[in-house]
Amino acid sequence: MSTAHAVVREEAQGSTARDDRSRRNPWWGLAAPVIVGFAALLPLLFNRRFYFYADTQDGAYGIWYDIGRSVLSGEWPLFSVDGWMAGNHVAEGQWGLWNPLILGISVFVYLVPNAVISTTIIKIAFLMFAAGGAYLMTRSYEGNRPLAFVAGVAAPLAGFTLFMDAPSWVTNLFVWAFFPWVLWALRRMLWDGGGMLLPIVLGFLLVSIGYVHGTILLIALYLAIGIEIAVRRQWSRLLPVLYVGVIHGLTALTVYLPGVLSASVSARSTGVENSGFMVATLTGLATSGVPTGVTALTAWWGAFAAQPLHYIAWFLPLFAFVDFGRFAARWKSVTSLYALLVFTFLFIVGPSNVSALQFPIRVIPWFALCVIVLLAVMLSTAGVRFPSARRLAVALSIVFLGTYLALSQNPAGLKAHGLSFVLVSASIVVIWLLLRGRTATSGDVGEDRTAGFDRTALARAAVFIGLVTVAMTGLQSVLHARDLVSSLPAPAEEADYAIQLTDAEGEAFVAGSPTQIGPDILDETLLSNSWYLNDVPTHNLYSPVQFLPYAQDLCLSHTGIACQDAVEELFEVDSETRTPVADLLSVDSVQILRAPDQEIEDLEEWPVPDGWELTDTGDDYVLWVRDAVTPDAGEVVWASAGTEVTMVSNSDMQATFEVDAVGSDGGQVVLSRLAWPGYSASGASLGEPVRDYLLSVDVPSDSEGTEVTVTFAPPAWPLCLAAMALAGLLTIAALIYPLIRRRRRAAVESEARQD
């Protein structure tokens, strides 16, 4: 038997034995999510809103609420005309419209009246889910159960995951939590005889969340597994990987193609540049074993992060207890892990902007996962049974160096760093003593024996590492749970979103920045996607994609905040239509927020445009309301001279009007709709967008008495639907084929017995 075949046979036997043992003893795998769930509660002791910050409260929560409301009404919310730049949900991509789990989360959010409670439950559940995935990922690389437990506990409690993704960037948390599960399922399919259905379903759930960084990392995973297959020279295993990959690729095509084809009007960046914004630093990574490390990381908070975002795990110095020579002998079996480690490292230290991809450090949770799993696998398969005092000294030196670098970047944290150094150093010493076990003698102190850790000693050490990891999370919570960066604290109770703009009519526009006034302003106005919970539709919704000409014309940021000068733009008379912009946008109410250096009396003295009146004044705002409301959003708001039309119907994705009169040269009508790519017209033709963003229709001269229908469908929508349908058919085939194969095999065996 060749060496390669012997290795494969040994791995297969080892995998089978491992699976048998796992079934007999599932407690390590169950304990990791439970411990993480407990640790995830610790930040709440110091900040009950810990999981309801920044992009979660401003973006995700409101759109979840709106999607949940739509789902319960029997609608699939692909597009919202009065959502304006945030209304093209298909182009946004990241709201999980194809994902049944996200749709279920949206319904849950809609039904739970407290935003803080619902988001906290969701996020802790995903942290626990990620713990199970990290455990299984470690096991798939031959990590033993106790150290897989350590990886499962540590990965979700890494700094960026717990202090950035969990409070704010929830979609990044979602796709990251699915990643180790997909990796485990793919490796189980390849090396442990598992079927295709599990990796197909898990990968579909990851991709259909619609967060592009997760999909990029899934592509990296496929490349990494391809490299592992190549170095093992087991080419026959490439076919099932390609089959599953095609299904995920078709899903990605459906999710992302409409956004790509809408990029011409969006705010997506192009080109490659590096502003240094949200780029990991090598010095920061050198402190990744220091729980109190707050290092240089340029972002919204300035030059230094307010949380330990480079932190990975306090026990990283245990790399000193690995026999690297012994581990190198089995490098082929972890090739994919090496490849992922290299890719994620290059990503997080790469340019700040690569086309539409921004903030490379958001990939650091994947890098942390790979580092933690690699350490667990190394200790499992090549740990030194009796680590010498010299190895202990190396580990403690790593602790010292990391602490020094953390202190040099943040000298003000001397007490915290000192406490961390003492705790981590003492814990490393305890682990060293536990791993040596009772069987070590005084003569073994300077001797490395590489037969692997004693099972009982390792179990005790793993439990100790898990408990200390929880304690370190508690320490970090004391130091940083209150320091999360956010705009304003959005209301927790659903009822508190209904008290703003009670005197408004029709569609509203808010000019001025609530964030410059303070939290009390949220009794009078709202921010970003919080408007989804209010009865008044507004233009000021959250959209990373945006509609760039519209946003620039009205001074709107991606968060939906408009500068106060937008009032001047709203009441400017458009040069082409000779109509105020507010009329073209179906704006019937304008709330103007005072600037920090303004008194409310200054706003009360502003001249109110003709046809409007000042109807309400608060501590920090004035409200102008139109005397007679305009047509609803989506309807015709202007027609050229000699052209008269009557609206027949209007919905989010379609508007129909009858042409009552039109001149001999034809006419033009403008609808209060953004001219997203994907619109078409029957009975007329689309014209050039007015002000570069409002949908216009050219009506032919012979169309009097006919109906014109304007319809929106996401770009390449038939192709997208066909791709998703094909992915579904391939999934069904993957489910049915093994059943047919087993039935044929049983028939052959039955015939053989009869013969």
Mean pLDDT for the stretch of residues 667-686: 96
- Asked if residue 438 and residue 378 are part of one domain, the reply reads yes
Q: Is pLDDT larger for residue 276 or for residue 221?
A: 221
Mean pLDDT for the stretch of residues 358-385: 94
Domains identified in the chain, total number: 3
Q: Which pair of structure tokens corresponds to residue 434?
A: 């536990």
**Which of 593, 626, 659 finishes a domain?**
626
Residue 82 located in a structural domain = no
Residue 360 located in a structural domain = yes
- Asked if residue 459 and residue 578 are part of one domain, the reply reads no
- Asked if residue 499 and residue 467 are part of one domain, the reply reads no
The reported pLDDT for the residue numbered 641 is 93
Percent of the chain with pLDDT over 70: 94
Q: Is 302 left (phi over 0), alpha (psi -120 to 50) or beta?
A: left
Residue 102 located in a structural domain = no
Q: Which pair of structure tokens corresponds to residue 139?
A: 């096991």
One-letter amino acid of 698: D
- Asked if residue 708 and residue 581 are part of one domain, the reply reads no
The reported pLDDT for the residue numbered 20 is 44
- Asked if residue 621 and residue 506 are part of one domain, the reply reads yes
Residue 396 located in a structural domain = yes
Residue 152 located in a structural domain = yes
- Asked if residue 640 and residue 584 are part of one domain, the reply reads no
Q: Tell me how far apart the alpha carbons of residues 361 and 365 are, in angstroms, rounded to a whole number.
A: 8
The reported pLDDT for the residue numbered 450 is 42
Indicate the pLDDT class of residue 441, thresholds 50, 70 and 90. very low
Q: Scan for tokens 């809408």, then name that residue.
A: 262
Phi, psi of 703 (to 5 degrees): -100, 5
Q: Which pair of structure tokens corresponds to residue 303?
A: 């030059």
- Asked if residue 610 and residue 475 are part of one domain, the reply reads no
Indicate the pLDDT class of residue 559, thresholds 50, 70 and 90. very high
Domain membership of residue 166 as a residue range: 3-22+44-51+114-480
Count of other CB atoms within 10 angstroms of residue 117: 15
Least confident span in 255-264, 265-274, 307-316: 265-274
Model-level pTM?
0.93
- Asked if residue 647 and residue 579 are part of one domain, the reply reads no
The reported pLDDT for the residue numbered 4 is 39
Residue 753 located in a structural domain = no
* pLDDT per residue as tens digits for the range 142-169: 999 999 999 999 999 999 999 999 999 9
Residue 746 has pLDDT above 90, yes or no: no
Residue 91 has pLDDT above 50, yes or no: yes
Residue 57 located in a structural domain = no
- Asked if residue 641 and residue 622 are part of one domain, the reply reads no
- Asked if residue 523 and residue 397 are part of one domain, the reply reads no
Q: Tell me how far apart the alpha carbons of residues 537 and 134 are, in angstroms, rounded to a whole number.
A: 43
DSSP character for 352? S
Indicate the pLDDT class of residue 270, thresholds 50, 70 and 90. low
* pLDDT per residue as tens digits for the range 71-85: 999 999 999 999 999
Residue 323 located in a structural domain = yes
**Which of 597, 626, 655 finishes a domain?**
626
Residue 718 has pLDDT above 60, yes or no: yes
Q: Tell me how far apart the alpha carbons of residues 36 and 145 are, in angstroms, rounded to a whole number.
A: 16
Q: Tell me how far apart the alpha carbons of residues 69 and 465 are, in angstroms, rounded to a whole number.
A: 44
Q: Are 3 and 176 in contact (CB under 8 A)?
A: no
Residue 48 has pLDDT above 90, yes or no: yes
Strand partners, 639: 669
In 3D space, the residue among 443, 429, 328, 422 whose CA is nearest the CA of residue 377 turns out to be 328
**Which of 626, 660, 685 finishes a domain?**
626
Q: Hey, what long-range contacts does 406-414 have (CB within 8 A, 24 or more apart)?
A: 406/287, 406/290, 406/292, 406/293, 406/294, 406/295, 409/283, 409/284, 409/287, 409/293, 409/294, 409/295, 409/296, 409/304, 410/293, 410/294, 410/295, 410/304, 413/292, 413/294
Mean pLDDT for the stretch of residues 223-237: 94
- Asked if residue 169 and residue 134 are part of one domain, the reply reads yes
Angle, in degrees to the nearest 10, between helices 145-154 and 115-140 = 150
- Asked if residue 652 and residue 614 are part of one domain, the reply reads no
Q: Average model confidence (pLDDT) for the chain? A: 91
Residue 440 has pLDDT above 60, yes or no: no
Mean pLDDT for the stretch of residues 419-435: 96
Q: Tell me how far apart the alpha carbons of residues 607 and 173 are, in angstroms, rounded to a whole number.
A: 48
* pLDDT per residue as tens digits for the range 166-214: 999 999 999 999 999 999 999 999 999 899 999 999 999 999 999 999 9
